[in-house]
């Protein structure tokens, strides 16, 4: 059942009712790729997947995320054309590309940003200074709503008009300057 919005109980509801009430067309989001239909195996339950806008570039990893954060740096912001970027890291040994091989842009020396060669969606990041790690954009998760950011980095670059009300720790500088430095992704 749809959840009532405070103060408008019985009048305004969240969910698909909102679309029908004002005849707003639903965003034509594609369903997840057919290859994502889950089996019941233990490995399937441990596997997390993600994909780009056109779904040609996709990835999966088995196990846990190493860290999760928001980055406010100008490079991430411009790469995604978004005011802030949510990221997480996984050990590269538990990660694989499962669709088309992404294209890669070296945004600064030793820093590699992966993106879909068809639709252009930013999708991942590797850097020589984070050996053994793959960084993934949380918005590319199959279920981005399940993501739980735990801290901010590069807070000195946060846009002044971006309103964020969480009480997470926020650090100046990159992940390397936070206590969450992944230290080899073991
Ligand atoms: Zn794509
Ligand atoms: Zn960044």
pLDDT, tens only, 3-50:
544 444 455 555 555 445 555 555 556 655 554 555 566 667 789 999
pLDDT digits (tens, 9 = 90+) for 103-112: 999 988 999 9
**SS3 per-residue string spanning 2-71:** CCECCCCCCCCECCHHHHHHHCCCCCCCCCCCHHHCCCCCHHHHHEEEEECCCCCCEEEEECCCCEEEEE
Residues in the 5 Å CB sphere of ion ligand 2:
71, 73, 76
Find the ligand nearest to 80 CA: 2
CA of 74 to the centre of ligand 2 (A): 7
The predicted pLDDT at position 180 comes to 73
Q: What is the pLDDT of residue 40?
A: 63
pTM of the model: 0.76
Q: Structural domain boundaries of the chain? A: 43-185
- How far away, in angstroms, is 159 Cα from ligand 2 center? 13
- Report, at the CATH architecture level, how domain 43-185 is classified: Alpha-Beta Complex (3.90)
């Amino acid at each position: 059942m749809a959840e009532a919005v405070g103060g408008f109980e019985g009048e305004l509801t969240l969910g698909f009712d909102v679309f029908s009430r004002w005849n707003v067309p639903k965003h034509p989001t594609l369903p997840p790729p057919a290859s994502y239909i889950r089996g019941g195996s233990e490995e399937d339950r441990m596997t997390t997947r993600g994909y780009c806008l056109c779904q040609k570039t996709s990835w999966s990893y088995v196990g846990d995320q190493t860290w999760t954060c928001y980055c406010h740096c100008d490079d991430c912001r411009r790469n995604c054309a978004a005011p802030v970027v949510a990221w997480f890291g996984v050990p590269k040994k538990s990660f694989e590309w499962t669709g088309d091989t992404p294209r890669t842009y070296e945004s600064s020396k030793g820093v590699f940003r992966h993106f879909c060669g068809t639709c252009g969606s930013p999708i991942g990041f590797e850097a020589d200074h984070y050996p053994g790690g793959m960084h993934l954009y949380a918005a590319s998760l199959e279920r981005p709503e399940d993501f739980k950011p735990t801290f901010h980095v590069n807070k000195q670059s946060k846009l002044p008009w971006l309103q964020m009300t969480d009480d997470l720790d926020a650090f100046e500088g990159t992940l390397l300057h936070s206590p969450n430095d992944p230290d080899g992704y073991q």
